[in-house]
Structure 1
Amino acid sequence: MRLFISATLILAALVHLLPLAGVLGSAQLNTLYGIPIAEPNLELLMRHRAVLFGLLGGLLLLAAFRPTLQPAAFIAGLVSVGSFLLLALLVGEINPLLRRVVIVDAVALVLLLAGAAARWQVNAQLAK
């Protein structure tokens, strides 16, 4: 069960580490999201977003090997993917590359929910 929990965190970490490439500049951001980033202020915000994804991915990866960090990692990961999916639903029309991100985040949501449920089950068994 602990291996399953770690695996869900590692896979979710990979999902969050992939956008880290966007920190390299607007060309990488365009490749990731299919959106030309011509305005410098938008580029700054998107590159900073990439850094934040890297931090979250790092937390998820570290939590895979440090059980004490797992509750915080699951919460942070679930808030990240859940909020993106909700916002995508509210916005509606998105380009094909962002639709791919929605699909990947939906998979990440399932992984994180399954991992969190397994973690809760392990804690419940230990409490007995």
Structure 2
Amino acid sequence: MEKVVTGLLVLVGIIHLLPVSGVLGVERLAVLYGVSLGEPNIQILMRHRAVLFGLLGLFLVYAAFQPSLKPLAIIAGFVSVVSFIAIAWSVGGYNDALRKVVIADIIAIVALIAAGVIHLISRNQS
């Protein structure tokens, strides 16, 4: 069952790694999020956001293969996706590109809940 947890964490890690290409510049960010980022300060913030998602994604993938880090990875991933969805839903009116991000994060939530439950059950059985 731990292989399932590993696979689920790798999936969530990949979801978090997808925005890393935004580091490359405004054009890539526009493709990812369907927004115009003409203002330099927003470009800086969004490109830095891509770096942070890359770090979290790498941590999730690494933790998938390190049993002692799995609980922390599940919590960190959960906080990430739940906070994004909560903000998106509270603001509303997001475009189709962000709708895809919301859908990916919903998939990530399901994967993280499943990983957490399986991890807890397998830990209690041993």
The TM-score with structure 1 as length reference comes to 0.97
Q: Which residue of 2 aligns with 1:37?
A: 37
Q: CA deviation at 1:67?
A: 0.8
CA distance in 1 between counterparts of 2:42 and 2:94 reads 18
Q: Which residue of 2 aligns with 1:77?
A: 77
SS at match of 1:38: coil
Q: CA deviation at 1:125?
A: 1.0
1:114 corresponds to 2:114 = yes
Q: Which residue of 2 aligns with 1:12?
A: 12
Q: Please report the RMSD computed on the Cα atoms of aligned residues, expressed in angstroms.
A: 0.6
Alpha-carbon displacement from aligned partner over 1:43-87 (angstroms, at most 9, x marks no partner): 000000000000000010001111111111000000000001111
Unaligned stretches of 5+ in structure 1? none
Q: How does 1:98-109 map to 2 (within 5 A)?
A: 98-109=98-109
CA distance in 2 between counterparts of 1:122 and 1:63 reads 17
CA distance in 2 between counterparts of 1:9 and 1:57 reads 9
Identical aligned pairs, as a percentage?
49
Q: Which residue of 2 aligns with 1:87?
A: 87
Unaligned stretches of 5+ in structure 2? none
The TM-score with structure 2 as length reference comes to 0.98
Q: How does 1:45-60 map to 2 (within 5 A)?
A: 45-60=45-60
CA distance in 2 between counterparts of 1:61 and 1:26 reads 27
Q: Which runs of 4+ in 1 moved over 6 A?
A: none
CA distance in 2 between counterparts of 1:109 and 1:22 reads 23
* Number of aligned positions between the proteins: 126
